[in-house]
Structure 1
């Protein structure tokens, strides 16, 4: 009797979780490949100078080995200086090439089936599934096919601890289902704040009101039609991206091409819907091309989002869903009616936290933002090989440090324990995913944007997370953080 009560109490208790640390182990003695290259250049310059001419050549080559030493050991914003070189060179290349600004040429017709998006997203193609009517986005370069589903769910923070734990376990089964097939390239969870357009009042009047042409009914209907946005609401979407390279055999069996890929993706869609329903999540159906176009247009032009939602027949065309103008700066990007900045969650909580730890970020009011969680699943065999490789590297590095007399620090020990925990989870039947968290903050002016970014950074601190501004790559980061297209950076 007491044993049964104990097991029941344990099952209704919310269990804290812990995230793996961001690996900073490097290739050799904590140094990355770029650090090893610059360090080798500096050492070779010193050795060559000493063997060739002694002290005088050592003085002449001082700029080389001093610069190499600085690039290797000096850190800027938490990263070695040498790792900023690719970002700086790529930014310089795009600046000289005029790639920081985009203007839509409205008088030039676009090819049929293409999306009017800037940058690398211009190569995306539109495909409508004939069986489900879902709008699928095909990337011919990355060989992916993406579909979007809107999901509704009750407020997680208002549930009792037992129900929260049950839903967390069920969501874990959903992620494990995504990992098992080996055909999914990316799963993206996008949670957005949108201005409430007042459609709830209109829907209530349409279902409960009496339109009898009386003065009261006419006046009430006019007031509802003139009502503007009030407050904000939250919308959640799941985006599923099929890896057409790993699914080549199944695609050929289904007929080949995009049509065959759509048939294979439909199987994954049915599996995901069943898993979501088992987790007490309510998928509202796969979005049509028009509904996807509304999401894209609202991300680039937030001022028109309420009107697009209120009038369902507007903006439902992927050929015109992109922005009219885009201007990228070092730390932000400006689109049609707003300024945006994208933050990267560089460090998840290191201590034990409960599943609702992101509540300060997701429930922040008065800030228009999008939270994107990009999950890259690994097949069980690939994950096992990766874990074995990490274990061997950790053990070899530990032996190397012991040989040269270097002390093992707590961070390296914690990373090794994380690898062992991943191996245990994989053995227990769980899936292994790589998470990338992005937060896109939007505002109408630069001053409001700076204040909103500071507020989001503060809420991230309350959630035990560390965030960094993705400087020099805001355009690519915005498409990954604010658009449900399973894009990566």
Structure 2
């Protein structure tokens, strides 16, 4: 008796993202909408009981404004949800917080980073065991380390190899979720101007210094085209949650040294997981290497010079910008204008793993793509999923009572919750993803053209993007810097 063994499938498996939850607290209304609506209803009730129709007419501006704030949409969001953003913007504008100028004469305290805004509180720590540069946030109680990763071009691999790498990357994310001590995992992919040193070194090693037409033409081509090209760099940032790891930190000696010891364990685990996924970590970045990344983000014109001269810009104390001007829709730093887009809607249909290639492979645009992954422990994820299921079922019962028709979007969200529960039961990790795209250009006109091109590329990738107005400075630090910052 013979039996046929089933051959493993080498075809790519499409995936589907969970929808962004848009359910409200009551009847689809959010907390801010309920507060605005309650204010209007209270004004109407008080007017009817106190003075009748005359007082109702006097209080009309109150309840009409409340109704408008509750239901009138502005740029796809209810008007009431724009109030916190607008008030915070006005507060910062009146306080002079939209401008930053470095104080050259006044020296900064030792161990601090010369960064604007709330990032001025960040502290530098050099790990004596690994030589890695760690960034400590004393307010958020996090400790962050950065690793540069090399990998082959995903789109050039065959479907079987792509599927294997996707499965291996899923194991890496599951490893991050298991310990419960990781606050954020950030994947940052940047386009940088190529200094041409790589081509020059290759020609010096493999080329022939002959006095022929072909050799002379090839050498001139390398000299001219090398600095005009661009290269891609990928980094992984790992942020330790010092609040959750308080017991392990005390066991390791306490303080920043104990936190560094705990973080080293997570670094070793992540390095092993990356190597098993056929990714090549090039080592944890030193403080000088992190300083070069920060300097190149704020001052892109100097990036090629820093790449050619390895000793320049190797100090975190001087890596920040000299000047920053923030406006409602963009950010101006030393030598460039920046605009940050938020991926507010991932693909709703089934897509293949390389769906972001139109965005990541866009040429002629200097941009940074940041994927912030917030892992959840298995017990926390299970409680969150149970809570969502109860909310969906109770909302469905409430809508049935008042005779409201069931919306297909609510049904799709409920199915997403069931799928998350099935994935969690199968041993996968649950992460919350935030996608940000930072676009840079030397002039405003070039920036607008680049933003329009990235928006079109996102449409080709079945994604929807929105410009983060009123918060460009905070968005830029989260999108362009490998420091695991959130908005």
Do the structures match in fold with TM over 0.5? Answer: yes
The 1:463/1:223 distance shift into structure 2, 3 A limit, reads: closer
The alignment status of 1:80 with 2:81, answered yes or no, reads no
Deviation at 1:33, TM superposition (A): 0.3
Write out aligned runs for 1:83-482 (5 A).
83-205=81-203, 207-208=205-206, 229-482=227-480
Deviation at 1:346, TM superposition (A): 0.2
Aligned to 1:4: 5
Partners of 1:437 and 1:87 in 2: CA distance: 20
How many residue pairs end up in the alignment? 482
Distance 1:2 1:192, change over 3 A: farther
Cα-Cα RMSD: 1.9
Q: Note the C-alpha offset of 1:221.
A: 9.7
**Is the alpha carbon distance of 1:319 and 1:227 closer, same or farther for their aligned partners in structure 2, counting shifts above 3 Å?**
farther
Q: Which runs of 5+ in 2 are unaligned?
A: 210-214
- The secondary structure found in structure 2 opposite 1:304 is helix
CA positional deviation for 1:13: 1.0
Counterpart secondary structure, 1:274:
helix
Partner of 1:214: none
TM-score by length of 2: 0.96
TM-superposed deviation, 1:202: 3.5
Distance 1:12 1:108 in 2: 61
- The C-alpha deviation readout for 1:418-460, integer Å capped at 9, x for no partner, is 0000000000000000000000000000000000000000000
Residue 41 and residue 278 in structure 1: after superposition, are their counterparts in 2 closer, same or farther (change >3 A)?
same
Q: Is the 8 A contact 2:385 2:421 kept in 1?
A: yes
Distance (whole Å) between structure 1 residues aligned to residue 349 and residue 265 of structure 2? 38
Give the C-alpha shift of residue 468 in structure 1.
0.1
Shift of residue 201, structure 1, vs aligned partner: 2.6
CA contact (8 A) 2:199 2:226 kept: no
Relative to structure 1, is the Cα distance of residues 398 and 195 closer, same or farther in structure 2, using a 3 angstrom cutoff? same
Flag the 1:342–1:3 CA change in 2: closer, same or farther, 3 A. farther
Distance 2:173 2:473 in 1: 29
Instruction: Summarize the Cα distance change of 1:224–1:405 in structure 2 as closer, same or farther, 3 Å threshold.
Output: closer
- SS at the partner of 2:5? helix
Shift of 1:386: 0.4
3-state secondary structure, aligned to 1:4: coil
> Once the two structures are superposed, what CA deviation does each residue of 1:157-207 show, in whole Å capped at 9, x if it has no partner?
011111110000000000000000000000000000011111103332564
Residue of structure 1 in register with 2:212 after alignment = none
Q: Is the 8 A contact 2:143 2:242 kept in 1?
A: yes
How far apart are the structure 2 equivalents of 1:202 and 1:247? 47
Counterpart in the other structure of 2:37:
39
1:487 & 1:58 partners in 2: Cα distance?
A: 48
1:286 shift after superposition = 0.3
Q: Could you tell me how far apart the structure 1 residues matched to 2:101 and 2:427 are?
A: 49
SS for the counterpart of 1:25 is: coil
**Residue segments in structure 1 that go unaligned for 5+ positions in a row:** 212-216
Task: Determine helix, strand or coil for the equivalent of 1:241.
Answer: strand
Residues 206 and 242 of structure 1: CA distance in aligned 2, closer, same or farther (over 3 Å)? farther
C-alpha separation in 2, matches of 1:132 and 1:207: 32
